[in-house]
Amino acid sequence: MPALVTPFKDGAVDEDAYRKLIDWVVESGQHGLVPVGTTGESPTLSHDEHRKVVEICIAEARGRVPVIAGAGSNNTREAVELAKHAEKAGADGVLIVTPYYNKPNQEGLFQHFKAIDAAIGIPIVIYNIPPRSVIDMSVDTMKRCYELKNVVGVKDATGNIGRISMQRQAMGPEFIQLSGDDITALSCMAAGAHGCISVVANVAPKPTADLMEACFAGKYDEALKIQDRLVPLHAATFLEAGVTGAKTGLSFLGRASEEVRLPLVPSTEGTKKAIRAAMVHAGVLNA
């Protein structure tokens, strides 16, 4: 499922490009959509823009695939309001990041998710990304959260493949585990994960979807061949911020501009060259 970028044009959300991007990734075989996460530049969207982008995504999805809307915040009240809006707008679920910067302890993390859980009636996917949020939700705390009525799984961006096995042991195989790092997706699937929320899927929606389909079918030899095509693109996309890498790739495809909002700036020339070469290697751009 792509963590969708939010295309901009002259400082505003480019609704036309966004709708076309959604159609393209769905038609390319992606299994769901994740708008307004960090890759969607949620930190620099206004609340009105955030809500609008969620609404556009749901409308353009037209029920073809589920929409898991980003609704996280380091302010619990704000996260509750964003989650309530996503539910009212028709999202199929919400992605809630562990509160960044504040550094709550494990009890604070649980209470944060408990408050959001009590406010809505749609599925919640925890987003655990210690490199960005600084704090790491423990397996024990995640198990407590899973006992809440709406928490169904995790987007795991710990970078530790062992966590997939540990969480599977603690919560059982029905607990939905999604890789939060493109390059670990194949390894996570082999360990019992269920998919990936992917940045690279913005640029290479068909091969990333094909990789997951191969895993679902147990064809790991086929999945590995696709992975070999994609590894340079996984690496190049994240030489700088993932969103700038994805927008660079989309600009090469003529599907969106490179425009981002400060403090982000477009990719440097060296990174652009690496992304272009990686896209050629992946077979998504002609040399």
Residues assigned a catalytic role: 127, 155
List residues bridging with 96 in a β-sheet: 126
- Going by C-beta distance under 8 Å and a sequence separation of 6 or more, which residues neighbour residue 81? none
At 220, the amino acid letter reads Y
